[in-house]
Chain A
Amino acid sequence: EKQVLESGGGLAQPGGSLRLSCAGSGFSFMYHAINWVRQAPGKGLEWVSIVSGDGTYIYYADSVMGRFAISRDVSKNTLFLHMSDLRAEDSALYYCVKGTNSGNYKGDYDYGMDVWGQGTTVTVSS
C-alpha cells in the first residue's frame, strides 16, 4: 500500500523556522512528483510546492517563494520542506501528497495527486 507520513510540525515564532519531513512507503520518490498542500483552520486547500520525480523541477507558490525550500533524500524516500521567515498566515495543516505521475513532463500534472498523508500542523505565534 502506498503511503506518505508527515512529521515535524509544531509551534514556531514569527520569523522563525521549521523543517517538515515526508516519508514515503510502497512507491519510490524517483518516479513520482511530491507536493506539499496546506489547509489553514476552517479554510480551503492551498498548494505550496512540488518536486518532480527526477528532481529537475521544483516549483513554489508565490506566497512561500523565497522562504520555503524543498530538499529530498531519494535513498531514504524522504522529502523535506524547510520553512523560514514564518508568518502567522503560514499556520496550517501541511499535507504531503504523492503525484500520480512523475512530474518530469508537463502533462503529468494533469493526473493529479493520489496519495495524501494525514498532515502535520504548523502554528506560527508569539
Chain B
Amino acid sequence: GIQVEQSPPDLILQEGANSTLRCNFSDSVNNLQWFHQNPWGQLINLFYIPSGTKQNGRLSATTVATERYSLLYISSSQTTDSGVYFCAVEGNFNKFYFGSGTKLNVKP
C-alpha cells in the first residue's frame, strides 16, 4: 500500500498563531483529503484536494501531486482547532490510506 507520513506528530500553539502541517506520500494518488478529528472522535472533512490550492476561512491546503506532498495551513488558530488532523490518500482500487495524524493543541 501507499505510505503516508505526517509531520509534525505533535504541535502546541498559542491561540492566534499560524501553523503548517505536512503530508508526504509514497506513490501517485487519485485523491487526497484532510480531516479534523475532534475530541469526540468524529472525522470532519476539511478538504478534498487531489491537486492545487483551496481555502476555507482560516484554513487552506495545497497539494503538489507531482512531488507527492500536501500542506495544510491554519491561520489565527483558535482553541476549537485542537484535535488530530489526518491526511488520507486514495490509491489504486479506490482504497484510502491514512497517515498517523498531527495532534494539535491550541492553548488560550
Q: Do A and B come from one complex?
A: no
**What residues of chain A have their CB less than 8 Å away from a CB belonging to chain B?**
none
